Structure 1
Amino acid sequence: MKIFRILPILSMLFITTLGFSQQAAEIYVKGTVVEAKTNQPLEYASITLVSTTNPSYVTGDMTDASGQFNIPILPDTYEIKIEFLGYQTLTISNKEITSSMSLGMIKVESDSEVLEGLVIETKRADVEFKLDKKVYNVSNDNINKGGTASDVLDNILL
């Protein structure tokens, strides 16, 4: 009699387990990201895949030392973005992926601007408070230029 009570419970657990284990099969998108002019692989380039049918499904990865990536995804239509600092973002829109595929060698162009010139200037604060003293920086004070040490001290104390 107890077997007749346990058997339906075990069969329900078994069916439930089978139902949850039957998820959509993952497929893979792979490729290589290289610099367009030199064909040098770009390490740590970012690849982002956003589902166009379900924008909350976002996945991605970074390239390895040889510029390659291999990303597991679910079959869907995606917008693919390849980004790397100092390079133009490459976007592949509405790419329908139903089986594992290779995007091949993806070449990205550098995004640089030539500056005419760059001048970096620093200025120390006129007064610095240290733990045990005050430091007066008089090098930027035009009043003190050309004066003696006693003129500098007179100006500080005023």
Structure 2
Amino acid sequence: MNTPKQAVVDVQKICERMDWHKLLPYFHSELTLDYSSLTGYPSAKVTAKELVDLWISCYSQFDYTTEKLDHFVIKEENNEANIYCHMRKECFKRDEENNVWGAVGTYDIDLIKVKHQWKIRSLKFILKYQWGNLDLPLPAVDAIKSTSK
């Protein structure tokens, strides 16, 4: 049986390795996705498959990405959990003059235990600041915006 923190860390590692076929079991069938602090668009309900497809689209915009999570605050009660953690992401794109974009923020993540497995049912990213080439993430941001329409 995994823990809420292990589920979140596993998702981060799977994304970094781009092992997309391993992601679906970590998500509830329908979840709330909120990137409003980055996109300006409201949160949206998406299916687990829609989220994975969205992330594939976003990550494919870059040649390399890394994401570090730390300072976990975990509240767990019965079959529900909330995780608040800090995030630092850096994305690299070859053949661009200014080829790095980075962001620092926090995640607020709700999970539910289903058949002894923790699943993410809500994911909110809160952008604190970003740096580098702010044009690099625009195709990914546009893909995220399309989920809110």
Q: What is the TM-score normalised by the length of structure 1?
A: 0.27
Q: Which has the higher helix share?
A: 2
Structure having the higher strand fraction is 2
Q: Larger radius of gyration, structure 1 or 2? A: 1
With the length of structure 2 as denominator, give the TM-score of the two structures: 0.28
